[in-house]
Structure 1
Amino acid sequence: ASASTAAAAVAELTAVNIWDTFLQLDKRIIPPPFKSSDLAKTSQTPILTPDECRNIISECETHYYGWGGSNERYGTPSYRVGYMLPLENLSFSYTFVNFELLPRLFPAISLAFSDSLTINPENLRLGGCRVVKYDAADGHVELGMHRDGLLVTANIALNDLDEYEGGGTIIEGLKEPIRLPVGNALLHPGDVKHGGNAITSGVRYALVCFIFDTTIVPHEKYCQDRMKEDVDAAMAIQVDDATRIEERARLLNSATKHCADAYKFGKLSCDGGLCDDGYDEIVKSFGSRYQFTL
């Protein structure tokens, strides 16, 4: 196969549960030094307009394959887990997020956590993104408590509060779920335990982005190391050992995921339109517009 075909194949694999990969971060990766006041930051003004939110929802609802089924996650049974669509599956929203949302979001993240970290927006990257739908009529209403593993998670409300009851994001250490007006964002460190509070009626949509800083955690090296470990373990199993076929397949599948992630995280420049000549001006333009508070 040609180099371009191979690259496309690897890129396609990045859609495979990229957030699950980082639930197993090894001990050599040190969490960023967030403060207790950084449990959660909520925007005081919308980061997305109502029309932009509606466009994302519309693409999801008219997607050729639909929302698909849900798997058991974080102790929540599959029949209660919210529906999820990876950003990679949504052509319009993929372009919009990379070229429109990220130049707004990255400077906002830098400002929101400025008391704890010096974050250069140019060092931030999108490690994964998905649209989540909670539908009370179908019983897919919640998501169990968990940690995301990357530097910061951004949860953006895509529809109005009056379109559902209940819901919001539970942050461990805070008394009440955080419910957001349409277009507003919740930011929290990825290692903060959180979950999707159950809705009791209506439908709730959210855009969830997983953000990492290329200077804080060596994600691409971590992925390459894990890939090598999986490949070595798989190769140690005899091909004709019928009792370990599933184990070998699991290791090779895991190695493939780590390879895809290493490929993605290794592209530390000019991906998603974020190193254009005009990026500095975009950052300056949007940087002061979005204020976050506890």
Structure 2
Amino acid sequence: MGGGAITFAVKEHLKKYRVFATERSALTFADSIEKVREMGIVIGEPEGEFTAIETKDVDMPFFSNMISKMGYEMPNYYVIAVQDHGFSPNLSNRIFRFRMFEKLLKKNPSIENFLFHHREIPREFNRMRDAAQSVADFVSGEIYVIDTVFAAIAGCALQAEKFPALLVNFGNSHLTAAVVDEELKIRALLEHHTPVLMRRGLGEIRKLLERFERGELNNEYVLNDSGHGCYYGEVLEVKERLCTGPNAHLSPFREVGGDPMVVGNLGMMFLLKRKAE
């Protein structure tokens, strides 16, 4: 799932050759099988000579081999992070993704609520479900999945000393900001597109985050501004501001310590522990 680069490659391939896909793998290219067919992809078993390419988010044979060579046995718990826009054949993915976040926040704003056991993943999050299935097909164990942005925010929360805290993940695709209280409940959430904001410069990014912190944004404004959305459960007085991510240099706030590619992993372990308590 998550077909940006592979979709481009397939479109180029289709200029000279045929492409076949199973229904499960076809959802990599679009949330509608009809849209996939319109691209020129044939849904079903291939005909004639062909090269088979297996698509999956988690290559468990690779990880199993690596872990074995390191002298370890396969673990009993697995935690995976993927970016999931949700299955939405009739609605913009960026709108649908944030609506799902808002729905979950209204139900339970605790950050660990975004870490799903593989049997409890909402059906709309088809990439999460597929990633979990990639693991379940290979091993037996307890499997959990989370969106990458909440893994990063949880990793930031580990290093926060004062709450409420404004925690920001500057990813390659998305800027996601959350106001988190001392109980690690998300009281406000903003998601925008990093490339859009990068073109506007550091000053505009600072203004956006300041307005978000003060409670001055709304969902409609962010959508019209080419972002995903904005949600306020409660506007709190922020006492600390932290950031992480591969584009943390865009942030006016202090970057948490450690490699930004590991902050999310630590956040996942932290949430798994909280989930078990």
TM-score by length of 1: 0.24
Q: Between the two structures, name the one with larger relative contact order (CA 8 Å, sep ≥ 6).
A: 1
TM-score by length of 2: 0.25
